[in-house]
Amino acid sequence: MPALGALAAEPLYLLADTAMVGHLGTDELAALAIAATLLAGTFTLFNFLTYGTTAQVARYHGAGEELAAGRLAAQALWLSAGIGVVLTTLLAGLADPLVEVMGGEGHVGDLAVLYLRIGSLGLPSALIALAGQGYLRGVSDLRSPLVIVVVANAVNVVLNVVFIYGFDWGLAGSAWAPSSRRPAWGPRSCGRCWRLRPTLGAPRSPARARWHASAARSSCAPRRCTPPSWSRARCSRG
């Protein structure tokens, strides 16, 4: 049920966003349709960051290899950040030809380019959030992704009202709303992953990580030895 709610939250926000932009005029609504299609298509192409991470983390988590699961999650987060930066650069730089391919012309085309360039700024954080959600689902924490997505989209609706009607930014306000909340969305997912690390047995510090690695390479059981007296420790193999 939590996973279903997380999947349903984004379409419900898009419905509210479309309703608000519809009051601005037909040109703005047409521009939103073009730019949102490009952004949503790009975002959907990289859903593997969630599902691939979930499958791999769940396999390690089920086998009790929590350190391996944590390392894989870190790799997924770095990969997401790198892909997000590249996509932002490409979409911002190629906004004009992409909108032309989608049939945007004149005033509608200009508005679509504006929305696309502003909206692309939030892609790195959005992709980081995808990887973070994949990790959380992999360790059977389905509630946190639901809470993060629902709160983020609720904030987005409030920002839409403030930016579109309060500040009178028009379509640009609709684009700035998700771009403003996504930088908090990605770190929120990462923060939840970090808080889970001690629960899952992952080391908190580099020194602790080195001790774990040393213990794993030795023939002693690490729980029977203490790091400060490692050279003199007598380990029980019992």
Q: How many CB atoms lie under 10 A from the CB of residue 19?
A: 11
Phi, psi of 141 (to 5 degrees): -100, 90
Judge residue 43's burial from the number of C-beta atoms within 10 Å of its C-beta, 0-12 exposed, 13-18 middle, 19 or more buried. middle
Q: What is the pLDDT of residue 70?
A: 86
Residue holding tokens 């944590």? 70
217's torsion region: left (phi>0), alpha (psi -120 to 50) or beta? alpha
The residue ranges of every structural domain in the chain are 2-202, 206-238
Mean pLDDT, all residues of the chain:
79
Cβ count within 10 A of residue 144: 22
Q: pLDDT at position 204, please?
A: 44
Distance of alpha carbon 195 from alpha carbon 96, whole angstroms: 42
**For residues 61 and 71, what is the distance between their CA atoms, to the nearest angstrom?**
12
pTM of the model as a whole: 0.75
Q: Indicate if the pLDDT at residue 122 is higher than 70.
A: yes
Q: What is the mean pLDDT of residues 10-15?
A: 75
